[in-house]
Amino acid sequence: MKFNTKTIHGGQKPEEKTGAVVPPIFQTSTFSQFSAGENQEYSYSRGSNPTRTALEKSLASLENGTHGFAFSSGLAAIDCVLRTLKPGDEIIAGNDLYGGTYRLFTKLFEKYGLEFTYVNMDSDKDILNAISENTKLVWLETPTNPTLKIVDIEAICVAVKNVNTDILIGVDNTFATPYLQQPLNLGADIVMHSATKYLGGHSDLIMGALVVKDAKLAEEIHFIQFAAGAIAGPMDSFLALRGIKTLHIRMQRHCENAIEVAQFLKNHPKVGAVYFPGLNDHPNHEIAKKQMKNFGGVVSFTLKDESKDATFKFLENIKLFTLAESLGGVESMVNHSATMSHASVTKEARLKMGITDSLMRLSVGIEDIEDLLADLEKALKLK
């Protein structure tokens, strides 16, 4: 099946007993058994639930994997990946990670004995120079949050696997979604999503996802998911499945609107830097063209007047772009990275990531573009 068909039919079939076209919400914690120790297909919803299973099959289909896993949040999914490691193992990651990932790495797992090295992912040499005998995982995020750098997944996978085929490569594919790029096809071992964002698409659930191809790795992830218990519930699984069915048409409009917004901001006299991989002057534009079907629905920018007063005045003036955490919903949102997505990161670390106090991230929704541009124009008057 082609991708657009997969969003609707991938891994799915009518429910066997009733013929329901949409997977039912199996809102149950437990299932009856034939006899003591003799289960039916399901026994306890922490281990598996029919609604979650339907979602996990859909996720695997979208990413061309063999096993999908749905978690209670994106960070719970990353937490599961890190639990496959042991004290003394090293993780190489990009130096401009999402703030929640950075917090998870530095505030939790460093205490548990994992070692983290942060490098510029633009350079294969920097990654290769960082690899040691303890390196067990390379963690990529592309596009990055919120500076929208693009990492060449295939080139990094080839370079790392040439050094050591046992090093796992994980990719946070949240911003791109499987509609725009499929990391497993490019050599990655693990794909992670904050399904809260584009996969759900309606700002009504919190969820994470992992997709893999390797059966042994899948078995380990499933055990951790079951043992630690950070699972997605049946209602959220139902909502995610519903969102996935329109992923392709939503992403088309997100991408169409985002390039218009990026070009508008690029030409506005009050705007400073604009971060969007679809612009020709973006440093990773050619990689994005090669690796992605389109350029995504997120645009970040700064004002020429980088003062706190000017930034906050813009955020107070904007109306259609809701000032809120998160992204990827049908409605447009604006995020002030320093006080929201990266608030847990020290100012020194933020500045190293390129996140100034003036940086704002737009999640461009699927509204009429004329209304979005008019809203930006009015807010940029800064009066």
Give the active site residues: 46, 98, 172, 197
Q: Is 116 helix (H, G, I), strand (E, B) or coil?
A: strand
CA-to-CA distance for 143 and 153, rounded, in angstroms? 11
Residue pointed to by tokens 């999640």:
363
Residue pointed to by tokens 């749905």:
70
Name which of 298, 291, 194, 184 is nearest 243 in CA terms. Answer: 194
CA-to-CA distance for 217 and 223, rounded, in angstroms? 10
- Residue 180: burial class (beta carbons within 10 Å; 0-12, 13-18, 19+): buried
Name which of 251, 228, 255, 303 is nearest 47 in CA terms. Answer: 228
Name which of 1, 7, 2, 87 is nearest 251 in CA terms. Answer: 7
Structure tokens belonging to residue 376: 């930006």
